Amino acid sequence: MALIVQKFGGTSVANTERIFNVADIVTKTAAAGNQVVVVVSAQGDTTDDFIEKAGEITDRAPAREMDVLLSAGEQISMALLAMAIDKLGFHATSLTGWQAGIQTDLSYGAARIRKIEPRRIRSLLERKRIVIVAGFQGLNSHDSITTLGRGGSDTTAVAIAAALGADLCQIYTDVDGVYTADPRVVPGAKKLDEITYDEMLELATLGAQVLHNRSVEMAKKYNIDLEVISSLTRNPGTKVKEVTSVEKMMISGVACDKDVARIAVMGIPDEPGKAFRLFSLLSAHNINIDIILQSIGRDNTRDISFTVARGQLDETVKLIEENKERLHFTEWSSEAAIAKLSIVGAGMTSTPGVAAKMFEALSDAQVNIRMISTSEIKISVLINEEDAQRAMRAVHDKFFG
Ligand code: ASP
Ligand code: MG
């Protein structure tokens, strides 16, 4: 007997037929003699619809009330699934995040799980019940409902798997697993049988929308065996683990993130402390900086370019304008129509020429590289957004074609 956590995303529970499909997967797993804890997302576009509804009332919804609203979607799914499972003749009990003992920090809209007190889940499992937990939500120390950020149900599932010491955490979704690139953009993309936590983490952070990146972080920390699998085809999915058993591929994937904006601050005096002043200002306002490039400007000055998430562009520009005197620059510019293309692979460290191969592909496709950044297992380039699709295909073809 194994203890298995199964998470089902929004498309997997989108309608009555899909809910019965999930009930079938869950009850088959239970009937095979396993203990099953199910984590569900809100049905289809429910969360987006709620955000829209709130927007009809106000564009300044109190963060606390926004979380009360958004958490309702998962509560609908869990009850409907419990009913479907009951109809199939099995016993299921649904629990909200707080009933399941999920405690978070205070930050509404992007809360982090602090601790899970799984007593109630355990006692239900001992009483041979299938336990269904609402994803994406918890309770903070003020006893208020919090949500974990968009896509956060994956993190709920992995956190519960860790708290229970589960044998396996399956993330059921509408794709067959993790691909070498988004198959909607790159027709030749291939499904990976296995991928390491580190590679998956990079891909998740770089815009491959398969798993919530915090869920991968947590899976790595607690060494949880993860599997990304389709609830619709039920084909074997992709296993995410510490080391893969197949020979390490040089590159495991190509990802493209369009949620990027670039800002350049020019004519900063070439003296110590200036970059510090700029970036400490931005960090004090919780603005996340990604790629940074510094270049020589005219007359003993330098230019600093960096990227932020597109949603933070306006705020960043406003801060820079407001602090013009303090920062001593002459001018600034910004652009939003750019994208970050990355290749990820644990095998990169031991293989020379990976960057050259990527740049060759981009050059052949006539794609201009604006900035470059590298880490041990990834290479990212900033390109114009209009080139994104062409660039992705060219780079993917070069490594996998
Ligand atoms: N329902 C939430 C969202 O759409 C959480 C999730 O799906 O994981 O972001
Ligand atoms: Mg969702």
The ligand placed nearest to the CA atom of residue 77 is 1
What average pLDDT does the segment 321-340 reach?
A: 94
Rounded to whole angstroms, the Cα distance separating 188 from 41 reads 30
**Residue 346's pLDDT is what?**
86
Confidence of residue 6 (pLDDT cuts 50, 70, 90): very high
Tens-digit pLDDT profile for residues 50-72: 999 999 999 999 999 999 999 99
**Residue 248's pLDDT is what?**
63
* Span from the CA of 158 to the centroid of ligand 2 (angstroms): 16
**Residue 378's pLDDT is what?**
93
pLDDT higher than threshold 70 for residue 46: yes
Nearest-atom number in ligand 1 for the CA of 48 is 4
pLDDT higher than threshold 80 for residue 229: yes
Rounded to whole angstroms, the Cα distance separating 90 from 86 reads 5
What integer best gives the mean pLDDT of the chain?
94
Rounded to whole angstroms, the Cα distance separating 362 from 392 reads 9
pLDDT higher than threshold 90 for residue 170: yes
Choose the residue to mutate in 11, 12, 39, 41 for probing ligand 1, maximizing ligand atoms within 8 Å of C-beta.
41
Ligand 1 binding residues, C-beta < 6 A:
9-10, 41-42, 47, 73, 135-136, 150-153
**Residue 223's pLDDT is what?**
95
> How far is CA 356 from each of CA 117, 347, 372, rounded to the nearest angstrom?
50, 15, 12
Helix pair angle (46-57, 63-70), 10° resolution: 140
pLDDT higher than threshold 90 for residue 81: yes
**Residue 392's pLDDT is what?**
96
Rounded to whole angstroms, the Cα distance separating 197 from 95 reads 29
**Residue 76's pLDDT is what?**
98
**Residue 246's pLDDT is what?**
65
What average pLDDT does the segment 32-53 reach?
A: 98
**Residue 204's pLDDT is what?**
82
Rounded to whole angstroms, the Cα distance separating 190 from 264 reads 37
pTM of the predicted model, to two decimals?
A: 0.86
Beta-carbon contacts of 53 under 8 Å, excluding residues fewer than 6 positions away, are: 69
Tell me how many helices (H) and strands (E) the chain has. Answer: 13, 18
Tens-digit pLDDT profile for residues 257-308: 999 999 999 999 998 998 999 999 999 999 999 999 999 888 889 999 999 9
Choose the residue to mutate in 11, 96, 150, 174 for probing ligand 1, maximizing ligand atoms within 8 Å of C-beta.
150
pLDDT higher than threshold 80 for residue 209: no
**Residue 15's pLDDT is what?**
98
* Span from the CA of 283 to the centroid of ligand 1 (angstroms): 27
* Span from the CA of 40 to the centroid of ligand 2 (angstroms): 10
End-to-end Cα distance, the chain: 43
Nearest-atom number in ligand 1 for the CA of 156 is 8
Higher-confidence position of 248 and 166 = 166
* Span from the CA of 249 to the centroid of ligand 2 (angstroms): 31
* Span from the CA of 130 to the centroid of ligand 1 (angstroms): 22
**Residue 250's pLDDT is what?**
81
**Residue 206's pLDDT is what?**
77
Tens-digit pLDDT profile for residues 337-354: 999 999 999 888 788 899
The one-letter amino acid code at 42 reads A
